[in-house]
Amino acid sequence: MSATRVADVVLVVNEACTNCIEHAYRDIEPGPILVQASHDHGQILVDVADRGVWQTPPTEPSTRGRGLPIMRAVSANVDVMPSQEGTTVRMTFDARPQTCGSRTT
pLDDT (tens place) for every residue of the chain, 105 residues total: 788 888 999 999 999 999 888 888 888 888 999 999 999 889 999 999 999 887 776 677 666 667 888 899 999 999 999 998 999 999 999 988 766 555 555
| Residue 62 maps to a domain | no
Query: Can you tell me the distance from the alpha carbon of 93 to that of 70, in angstroms, rounded to the nearest whole number?
Result: 14
Hey, what long-range contacts does 75-83 have (CB within 8 A, 24 or more apart)? 75/8, 75/12, 76/43, 78/12, 82/54
Say which CATH number the domain at 12 has.
3.30.565.10
* Short-list 30, 11, 1, 16, CA closest to 78: 16
Residues 82/54, Cβ–Cβ less than 8 Å: yes
Report the predicted TM-score, pTM, of the whole model to 2 decimal places: 0.81
For residue 48, is it within any domain? yes
Would you say residue 81 lies in a domain?
A: yes
